[in-house]
Chain A
Amino acid sequence: QVQLQESGPGLVKPSQTLSLTCTVSGGSISSGSYFWSWIRQPAGKGLECIGRIYSSGSTNYNPSLKSRVTISLDTSKNQFSLKLTSVTAADTAVYYCARGIVAAGTNSYMDVWGKGTSVTVSS
């Protein structure tokens, strides 16, 4: 049973870089059958896709965040990471990592989610 666990600082200062890691257990991050996503949720609000990365290293980012986001893989550690630069209070949220099923066209979906980690942007 694959499990995902987010980790990283719970507090980040404005203008700095938010860095989170998702550790995958029970399965290989290198499998071509999956992609790996980051999603966030401000308190009391809805879900927002940040982006995803395939085992090939190919990425897709939300256009509204694209200029500030980098998602990367570390296959040696079976982890993938999120970096979000120049953060503001608007980036305060619970950040989730999730596994997605690779499928043609728009068939993809996210079937396994981590428990989420809360990040606050404040000085």
Chain B
Amino acid sequence: SYDLTQPPSVSVSPGQTASITCSGDRLGDKYASWYQQKPGQSPVLVIYQDSKRPSGIPERFSGSNSGNTATLTISGTQAMDEADYYCQAWDSSTGVFGGGTKLTVL
């Protein structure tokens, strides 16, 4: 089975840049999506097709994907960005999620 690995936690100071990585075998050959999930809420798509932002997602969210690693970058991180973030890709028509990263803004 295909695995995606994320760091369990990332901490960032308000106004700074947060980077969350997602690693998988030749992940750069696939497209990665990123989802934000706040406590008690359903996931929200923040990045799709590696680097595209859905309507309504702030410009401070960006993404990249190359080699074995996809990266979600949040520039000028705000307190409201504190959440769990999940990467996701498709392998042989099966959806695979990373284990999730808890982003703490402190």
Q: Of the candidates B1, B90, B97, which one forms a contact with A47 in the assembled complex, judged by CB atoms under 8 Å apart?
A: B97
Scan A45-69; emit 1 where CB is below 8 A from any B CB, else 0: 0111100100000001111100000
Q: Of the candidates A39, A64, A103, A115, which one forms a contact with B1 in the assembled complex, judged by CB atoms under 8 Å apart?
A: A64
Scan A31-54; emit 1 where CB is below 8 A from any B CB, else 0: 000000101000000111100100
**How many inter-chain residue pairs (CB < 8 Å) link A and B?**
64
Question: Which residue from chain B places its CB closest to the CB of A110 in the assembled complex?
Answer: B45
Q: Are B42 and A96 in contact (CB under 8 A)?
A: yes
Q: What B residues does A113 contact at CB under 8 A?
A: 42-44
Question: Which residue from chain A places its CB closest to the CB of B43 in the assembled complex?
Answer: A113
Q: Are B30 and A106 in contact (CB under 8 A)?
A: yes
Q: Are B42 and A115 in contact (CB under 8 A)?
A: yes
Complex Cα distance, B90 from A52, in Å, reads 12
Q: In the complex, which range does the number of interface residues on chain A fall in?
A: 20 to 34
Q: What B residues does A116 contact at CB under 8 A?
A: 42
Q: Are B97 and A114 in contact (CB under 8 A)?
A: no
Q: What B residues does A39 contact at CB under 8 A?
A: 95, 97
Complex Cα distance, B96 from A39, in Å, reads 10
Quick one: which of B36-68 are within 8 Å of A by CB?
A: 37, 42-45, 48-49, 54
Shortest distance in angstroms between B5's beta carbon and chain A's nearest beta carbon? 12
Question: Which residue from chain A places its CB closest to the CB of B52 in the assembled complex?
Answer: A109
Q: Are A108 and B90 in contact (CB under 8 A)?
A: yes
Q: Are B94 and A62 in contact (CB under 8 A)?
A: yes
Most buried by B among A48, A52, A62, A109: A109
Q: Are B45 and A48 in contact (CB under 8 A)?
A: no
Q: Are B44 and A106 in contact (CB under 8 A)?
A: no
Q: Are A96 and B43 in contact (CB under 8 A)?
A: yes
Question: Which residue from chain B places its CB closest to the CB of A49 in the assembled complex?
Answer: B95
Complex Cα distance, B33 from A105, in Å, reads 14
- List the interface of chain A (C-beta within 8 A of B): 37, 39, 46-49, 52, 60-64, 96, 101, 103, 105-111, 113-116
The 3 closest A-B pairs by CB, nearest first: A49-B95, A109-B48, A60-B93
